[in-house]
Structure 1
């Protein structure tokens, strides 16, 4: 969908992501390792996204506000995506 706007939501670091997952204690260690590995692979592709929002530990409201700001800005875009760039 070329007209779609993509937002990459990331933890502030791989170590922070791992600590959050361990702290939740909702998955076995092998699943946590897989999730961190997958996040690393996804992060390597963040340049393919239009925006990156960092979801810092304990600051989910700030991340949500940043995403809301992106949505608001895109609603006000003068040139449709792909034109005028």
Structure 2
């Protein structure tokens, strides 16, 4: 039987995402079968009810893997950090 491997991923939250979760980051074991940012969000939503409200409309959020902006279909691969934040507005 083959064991499912995982790797550590730091998730950093900004602005109202951080405020609603009540923390600025999490460290998770990202399962091998979770390959994209979108799959990761579904995985953590299923692990903790606190994420349900915050990630209810993930289309309103922005993401960066190891400080590079990415979409929901971006491969996590061996990334060390995922940043999650709302769109920045200027004025």
Interval of TM-score (by shorter of Structure 1 and Structure 2): under 0.3
Choose 1 or 2 for highest CA Rg: 1
Question: Larger relative CO (CA 8 A, sep 6+): 1 or 2?
Answer: 1
TM-score, structure 1 as length reference? 0.28
